[in-house]
Structure 1
Amino acid sequence: MYINTTGLVLREAPYRESSKILTVLTATHGKITVSARGARRRGSRIAAAAQPLMYSEMTLYNQRDRYTLTEAQPVELFPGLTGDLVRFSLGAYFAELLEAVAYEDVPNPELLAFGLNALYLLGEGQRSVRLIKAVFELRLMLISGYAPNLSACVRCRQAAREPILLLEEGTLSCLRCKRAGEPYAPLCEGSLEAMGFVLSAPPRRAFSFRLEEPALSRFASACEAYALQQLGRRFRTLEYYKQVSQGEEKTSDGIDKNPTSDGLSNKKGNLDHDAL
């Protein structure tokens, strides 16, 4: 049976002399494993579409739940990623996260649309790399059912003073209410406000704000730590991203190096591109 769908290639692996095995997040079948026969051969009609971070229209042949790519036409190449090692490596991390939370043969159009939007904004180059990364990690937890509860301190039930995020429980706490040995990420008023915005904003507006230091650093650290804690694993692509981005995060992502506020600003800013 032939299937027409669209899909984002999350991962590739060489297979035999000239083929590939692809992990693809599709609009209609969720995450699937696809055989791309001859994709490594010069002149292959499917070679362009059988690349990581390529979004394409695909014709798949399905036999006994095994998918073979027969035709493909790229829809979005994300050209802004290919010429920038930092942004491309972060895109690879996004792909590994998407693969980690997606289910085999379970459609999740929200997850695919979110991933495409994040990759577009990352390649566009107009927003802070650290901000995009943090929003992606936190919003992905929401989509996957791991959203933290930030309403009040889980212990004293009051508005958190010196707020911290308890990484295992996914709840807010005051620093003084924390129990010994609990893993946590420190927050501040601005970073807490940013997290609340990301979790409550409409999908197409989750990235549409700016955050200054020191709130940006606390926001970024908390979102990464929370995602890794909830998923219970490390990501090799994240480790590589950190290697190639050392020394560049605060100088190439548009962040004010002499901030005067730790608050959320421009919350009503418009995205230039909402979703593919």
Structure 2
Amino acid sequence: MAVEKIRGIVLKEINKGETSKNLIVLSKGIGKIFMYARGARKSKSPLMASSQIFSYCDFVAFENKNFYNINQAEIIDNFYNIRTDIEKLAYSSYILELVEKTCPENMECDNIMLLLLKTLSVMSKTDINPRFITRVFEIKYMSLMGFMPETENCVFCGNDSHLNYFSKIEGGVMCDDCKKKGIDGGIISNGALQSLRYILKSDVSKVFNFRVSDDVLYELSILSKDYISSHINMKFKTLDFAESL
């Protein structure tokens, strides 16, 4: 069997037997894959640290049916500071769960991996509000997954002015005239709309380079969570915990 070098980040770890782990890893060039870390739960295992969630590593492994068996691993970054703050840890765990549950298997998604790494780096190395980081990630992630909301023209009539409402079902802004016709949609402020436009148009390297008021962050939180629930029929326990803090 050919040995491969795989760069990836651990999204989930699952105990296997008494001493080993199954891992779900988002990898460069391959996408979401399953890996097996034999003996990783032993106290002296060289794979102990690299098999934990958030570990961004270079793995040396060989493919065996539907799994990659890990021979060795070198940690590039473990985003350690995330683990020292309960709010950062809670929201970062949710971000991993969102990717783990929704990103397709064995399909190259390097753009999503870049976004995830940038997000965890900002979460770990800055004092930016974890809720803000999470909302930006959600919106950018959904767009990369093919669910980009329309922010320039009314999703019903194409009008490009008086865009004061947002339809989570249709996935975009709605004008005053269409709202008057009784079409369902919630109010969106200019601040929230401009934030959406910035997130969607920005390169991943610059996507966190703006700030919003508490009111706009609250609005983005509701909009983002409603938008995700309208397009992804899943529950995320980690999000429930993070939002309870």
**Alignment match, 1:40:** 41
1:134-161 CA-to-partner distances (Å, cap 9, x unmatched) read 1100000111110011112233543454
| Aligned equivalent of 2:230 | 229
Between the aligned partners of 1:204 and 1:228, the Cα distance in structure 2 is 27
Task: Name 2:187's counterpart in structure 1.
Answer: 186
Measured on the aligned residues, the alpha-carbon RMSD in Å equals: 1.8
- Show CA shifts across 1:159-191 (max 9, x none): 454722211210211466347684x44310000
Distance in 2 (CA, whole Å) between partners of 1:181 and 1:51 is 47
Structure number with higher helix proportion: 2
Cα separation, partners in 2 of 1:70 and 1:185, compared to 1, 3 Å:
farther
Residues 55-134 of structure 1: matches in 2 within 5 Å?
A: 55-134=56-135
CA distance in 2, matches of 1:91, 1:3: 29
Aligned to 2:3: 2
Matches of 1:168 and 1:56 in 2, distance apart? 39
**2:40–2:51 contact (8 Å) kept in structure 1:** yes
1:142 maps to 2:143:
yes
1:78-128 alpha-carbon deviations (Å, 9 max, x no partner): 111010111011111111111133221112111111101001101123212
For the residues of structure 2 that align with 1:82 and 1:105, how far apart are their CA atoms? 29
Shift of 1:29: 1.5
Shift of 1:47: 0.6
AA of the residue aligned to 1:64: K
- 2:245 aligned with 1:239: no
**TM-score computed with the length of structure 2 as normaliser:** 0.92
Q: Secondary structure at the match of 2:240?
A: helix
Measure, in 2, the Cα distance between the counterparts of 1:39 and 1:176.
60
- Structure 2 contact 163–173 (Cα < 8 Å) conserved: no
Kept after mapping to 2: 8 A contact 1:46/1:72:
yes
Q: Distance in 2 between matches of 1:181 and 1:42?
A: 60
**Does the CA-based 8 Å contact 2:91-2:242 persist in structure 1?**
yes
Match of 2:16 in 1: 15
Percent identity between the aligned chains? 25
Amino acid at match of 1:97: L
Match of 1:196 in 2: 197
Q: Any idea what SS the aligned residue of 1:122 has?
A: helix
CA contact (8 A) 2:155 2:171 kept: no
| TM-score (norm. length: structure 1) | 0.82
Q: Which runs of 5+ in 2 are unaligned?
A: none
CA distance in structure 1 between the aligned counterparts of 2:183 and 2:48, rounded to whole angstroms? 51
Contact 1:9 1:24 in 2 (8 A): yes
Change (3 A) 1:106 1:157: closer
Alpha-carbon distance in structure 2 between the residues aligned to 1:20 and 1:100: 18
Q: Which residue of 2 aligns with 1:249?
A: none
CA apart distance, 1:224: 2.1
Q: Which residue of 2 aligns with 1:28?
A: 29
8 Å Cα contact 2:154/2:163 also seen in 1: no
